[in-house]
Amino acid sequence: MSKKFKALVVSKEGDSFVREIKERSVDDLPEGDVLIKVKYSSLNYKDALSAIGNKGVTRKFPHTPGIDAAGVVAESSDSSFQEGEEVLVTGYDLGMNTDGGFGEYIRVPSEWVVRLPKNLSLRESMIIGTAGFTAGLSVYSLAENNTMPEDGEILVTGATGGVGSIAVALLSKAGYHPVAVTGKMDRENFLKKLGAVRVISRDEADDKSGKPMLKGVWGGAVDTVGGNILATAIKSTKYMGTVTACGLTQSTEFTSSVFPFILRGVRLIGIDSVELPMDIRLNVWNKLANEWKLDNLDYLANEIKLDDVDGYIDSILAGKLSGRTLINLQS
Ligand SMILES: NC(=O)c1ccc[n+]([C@@H]2O[C@H](COP(=O)([O-])OP(=O)(O)OC[C@H]3O[C@@H](n4cnc5c(N)ncnc54)[C@H](OP(=O)(O)O)[C@@H]3O)[C@@H](O)[C@H]2O)c1
């Protein structure tokens, strides 16, 4: 008899999207070589977009969101993975149009599966999750573009968010001096405890002067919000500094003159955690498990159960959450 399991299911009813915990059957999961019993997942901004029917994320309903999953191989038709092995999946199509980690089982192609890095537990891997992995990839890209700790302070925007908070902690761990930008000044102590050398308000990082260039003050920036805050970071970055761009919570659009690029050699680096080639993916996970392993992962995490996810989706959309929301699927 087919295995039954619990999952959050988003269904389209007319123009609205309804979220319910339902019983599903493993037989209804998409095809793939590896069936994984999910122990932990996490909540990312993109999951909330999927849950409200954002067409850029999910087109097929009913659907189980969850772009992150960590658990144990239950069945594998690919001999490179054995039953009982601890694995994680982030990115690719998981949680987009492939049923994701907000259910007790996922089935995926083996090419998406990452063996749990040594020195990291399943729980820790999902406190990191896509948000933390993206923060890791951003820090990795600063170094790849020769932006080093001695080049100056690194601006981190959307700093209390999943990507932002882990970026602050990782930059600090890697010897950089992160300056956190936030719309939640009451979270200043949280950000300082993560390693921010200073915390500035969102308004201060959102230049409305219309000037094409500002004084170069940042060695680089990890931007998670896009929009005019990204534009401001670019025109405030020092000679040959690196700005990484991964997010869109302020806006998908931004306007810049070419001056920061042609007069200061500023590098703007796009960050994509979804289709990233496996060799770089493993390299970043390896760093997250070893030289960048954070001692304060628990401090960053708020652990919830599958039944609680519904309410947290509304909170992340409203920009109200801080740090990472870990979902424990073990009953
Ligand atoms: N490219 C990739 O591969 C990739 C991977 C993961 C995530 N992302 C993207 O990265 C972004 C952050 O993801 P996340 O999971 O960290 O989301 P999150 O936890 O919701 O954090 C986003 C943060 O952005 C800030 N923010 C919210 N609304 C804003 C606004 N209107 N203007 C300026 N700042 C605002 C808030 O921080 P403060 O209150 O501290 O300012 C919020 O906590 C999202 O856009 C997500 O889609 C991209």
The total domain count for the chain is: 2
At 122-169, the pLDDT tens digits run 999 999 999 999 999 999 999 999 999 999 999 999 999 999 999 999
Please state whether the predicted TM-score (pTM) of the whole model is above 0.85: yes
Question: Is there a single domain that holds both residue 66 and residue 90?
Answer: yes
> Does 125 fall in a domain?
no
Distance 163 CA to ligand 1 centre (A): 7
Question: Is there a single domain that holds both residue 110 and residue 161?
Answer: no
Among protein residues, the one whose CA lies closest to atom 2 of ligand 1: 272
d(CA 159, CA 148): 20
CB 146 within 8 A of CB 220: no
> Does 278 fall in a domain?
no
Query: From the alpha carbon of 321, which atom of ligand 1 is closest?
Result: 43
Say if residue 221's pLDDT is above 70. yes
**301-305 vs 105-108, strand pairing mode:** unpaired
| Mean local confidence (pLDDT), 255-276 | 98
Range of the domain at 321: 4-116+296-328
> Does 144 fall in a domain?
yes
**What percent of the chain lies above the pLDDT cut of 90?**
98
At 158-212, the pLDDT tens digits run 999 999 999 999 999 999 999 999 999 999 999 999 999 999 999 999 999 999 9
Distance 230 CA to ligand 1 centre (A): 12
> Does 280 fall in a domain?
no
Distance 217 CA to ligand 1 centre (A): 23
Ligand 1 pocket by Cβ (under 6 Å): 44-46, 130-131, 134, 158-164, 182-184, 202, 224-225, 229, 246-250, 271-274, 316, 319, 321
> Does 282 fall in a domain?
no
Question: Is there a single domain that holds both residue 178 and residue 202?
Answer: yes
Distance 316 CA to ligand 1 centre (A): 9
Distance 246 CA to ligand 1 centre (A): 9
Question: Is there a single domain that holds both residue 226 and residue 311?
Answer: no
Question: Is there a single domain that holds both residue 178 and residue 108?
Answer: no
Question: Is there a single domain that holds both residue 161 and residue 261?
Answer: yes
Rg over alpha carbons for the chain, rounded to the nearest Å, is 20
At residue 1, the pLDDT reads 63
Instruction: Compute CA 80 distance to the chain's CA centroid, rounded to the nearest angstrom.
Output: 27
Single-letter residue type at 87: V
Contacts of 40 (CB under 8 A, 6+ apart): 69, 70, 71, 122, 123, 125, 126, 326, 327, 328, 329, 330
Query: From the alpha carbon of 165, which atom of ligand 1 is closest?
Result: 16
At residue 210, the pLDDT reads 95
